Amino acid sequence: MRAKSAALAILMIIVVSLISAAIPASAQRQGSLELVTQVVSIRPGRPFSLSVLMQGGSRDHLVSATVHSRVGSRSQFQLQLNGLAEFSAPIYSFAPTPVKTIRTGKTELITLEFTTTDDPAEQADILLTAEGGVFPVLVRLADANGNQQDELLTYLVVTPKPVDEFEPLRVNVTLPVQAPPALQPDQSSSIDPASLSKIEAILEVVAGRPSMNITLAVVPETLVALKRDVDTRLLVEQFEIAVARRELLRLPYVNVSESAWNKTSQIEGYERLLEAGDRVLKGEVDARSIGTAAFLDIDATPTIVGMLGDLGYEQIIVADRQLKVLPGDLFPFTVTQQFIVRDQRGQRHPAAVIDTALGAHFGANENPILDAHNFIADLAILWFDQPTVARGVIVRPSAGWDADPQVLRIALSGITSMRVLRAVDLNTFFGEVATLKASGQVSPTGESRRAIMVRNLNPPGPTEQIAAFATQLGQAESLLSSYEEILGGQTRDTAPLSELLLVSGARGIEQNRRLEYLDSIDEAVTMAIRSIEGPEPQVVSITAREASIPIFIENGLSTPAAVVLRFSSDKLEFPEGQRLRVTLEPGSNEFSFPIKSRSSGDAKLRVTVLSPDEAIQLDGPDQIIVRSTVFSGLGLLILVGALVILALWWLRQILEKRRETTYPG
């Protein structure tokens, strides 16, 4: 059996070797190209250049390039990027040239330069029209025998001249400054290293462009964690530079699923998250403004649109894949205008779309420089669709993007350097971008064009399930609320517990982990309230029907505590009621409480210590024996009667003794 297996293994090795030998040399890759630098855009008549790095090839490898006719549409552009579309006719070809003759210095860096003109009478590599466009540039690498080894696709962006008669494309870039919750159930705080690296990269680039309009989506809990960590002080300083006089997105304290909270009737809880986020952003950040636009989750419904409107959001931003597709004959171009979405009550909300294709360029390739230039080319193609209309796009990088500072720096430079583009914040976006007309993007002007397009949301995606957590969250909220009433409001002791409560509902936390946050609150409150002890069992004697008895309560906390003392007894009455609200100072506290005894003898007085809202029993019921030595009305009557009879008997005895003495015998 072993011999058979060995023979089979040898046969497989031979077959693999034969197949490898049969593969032509052209299929065995011996070199690759990587884009290193590129001119962002040019106007006709200006030179264009790009530099590529050859890796794994030889000095005798051949480099060639072809510039093709302008891209006709955005769909063609996207198909080309995916390798699914043919290119138009070449307008210029750079003949195959050995690397050794065009490389830069002794490195494998290769720079290709092309001259352009818009005047047919002039000599140049590429003849361009004044209207400009976006042109595919294919750079190829072949071995010395002409066998292709690699191919690199980039784009030459040519802006028209002049551009003053056109409307620039408003570009809003919303960048995240966020991390998973840093606060842990044990109240320690640690920002995820990968998220911290992303934040550093974004802040580094944004801080270097203080005059550029950018919207920052700062998660308040992340900001709190940054300021709490002594190791991130320099990053906090950079953060303050980056956000100064910029627009911030209004966000809840942590990222949560609005739909999940809505389904569990936790709207008040979501509102508390939003209020907590407002306090942090308005109190801790020197921002120019807090935006009133809300980015919808993938699971959002018209009900969520209405909820956000009720909470003060004035505009809705929705991903393009969340909207029903518009008819292509009326809307042939990518939607780059405002429109309307309706909530569950039919109320209308101004809305715009996140262009997910633009965001997808970030991190699309292993070469970040190529990603950045593809992003710029895509923006240019959108502008060329309708250059005379005031339009805009909203860009938000995909969640999985590693925040490469190189791609971000080039992308932002492209936006600011091209006159056909203008960076705006969301407030400016909704103030300047035209509305999408229901009659279509290319219909003639007329009465119908006054109607703004209403777009419908697709059925929502799956919603995070938090029903079981929501029940326990409500219990934890009640417990913490009662504890805060004991201490007279939120204090330095309750603030960390409030933060645990806010963080527990963050998106993506597993159910068991959520419960750990709530358990931590329960343990902290339980330990604290155990420090308040009711009266010790004792016997108190009274000698009158109405009396005040002393009550001793121990407060082991370091702060005053408000409590309610509740009294109950079968034989005692309470002239001032059965409840007494008192404030316990740290240490031992003595109070006098009026009672009224119904009869003599022993009576059991039960004392229970409660929170001010009477939701938490802090101690008790503790039992005090009240011993009354006071006669009742009937007892007093019997006593008086007995004394009268005794007096009469004594008087009779005295009189009889006198008679016997006076009249003896």
Q: Decide: 378 and 357 in contact? Cβ < 8 Å.
A: yes
Q: In terms of Cα–Cα distance, which of 393, 414, 378 is closest to 81?
A: 378
Residues, the chain: 665
Least reliable range by pLDDT among 85-89, 161-165, 248-252, 502-506:
161-165
Q: What is the per-residue pLDDT across 646-663, written as a single tens digit (0 to 9) for each?
A: 767 677 767 667 666 665
CA gap 272, 268 in Å, rounded:
6
Q: What is the per-residue pLDDT across 260-314, written as a single tens digit (0 to 9) for each?
A: 888 887 788 899 999 999 999 988 887 778 989 999 998 899 999 999 999 999 9
CA gap 542, 600 in Å, rounded:
9
Residue 397 neighbours by CB distance under 10 Å: 25
- What average pLDDT does the segment 631-642 reach? 55
The pLDDT of residue 212 is 95
CA gap 396, 173 in Å, rounded:
6
- What average pLDDT does the segment 49-75 reach? 94
Quickly tell me which residue has 């358990």 as its tokens.
519
Between the alpha carbon of residue 252 and those of residues 164, 183, 266, the distances in Å are: 41, 15, 14
Q: Decide: 295 and 394 in contact? Cβ < 8 Å.
A: no
Least reliable range by pLDDT among 340-344, 605-609, 649-653:
649-653
Of the pLDDT bands very low, low, confident and very high (cuts 50, 70, 90), residue 632 is low
Q: DSSP characters for 392-434?
A: EEEE---TT----HHHHHHHHHHHHH-TTEEE--HHHHHHHSP
The pLDDT of residue 659 is 66
Q: Which residues, including other chains, have CB under 8 Å from residue 279's CB and lie 6 or more apart?
A: none
The pLDDT of residue 8 is 45
Q: Decide: 92 and 115 in contact? Cβ < 8 Å.
A: no
Q: Which residue has the higher pLDDT, 355 or 601?
A: 355
Report residue 380 as tokens.
Answer: 């240019």
The pLDDT of residue 22 is 44
Q: What is the per-residue pLDDT across 74-128, written as a single tens digit (0 to 9) for each?
A: 999 999 999 988 899 999 999 999 999 988 776 789 999 999 999 999 999 999 9
Indicate the pTM of the whole model.
Answer: 0.83
Q: Decide: 538 and 624 in contact? Cβ < 8 Å.
A: yes
pLDDT of 35 over the 60 cut:
yes
Q: What is the per-residue pLDDT across 534-573, written as a single tens digit (0 to 9) for each?
A: 998 888 887 788 888 888 999 999 999 999 999 998 888 8
For 103, which DSSP code?
Answer: B
Residue 585, CB-side half-sphere exposure with 13 Å CA sphere: 4
Cis status of the peptide bond prior to 621, with omega within 30 of 0: yes
Kindly compute the dihedral angle of the four CA atoms of residues 351, 271, 467, 529, in this order, to the nearest 10 degrees.
Answer: 170
In the chain, the percentage of residues whose pLDDT exceeds 70 is 89
Strands 116-117 vs 126-127: parallel, antiparallel or unpaired: parallel
**Considering just the CA atoms, what is the radius of gyration of the chain in Å?**
41
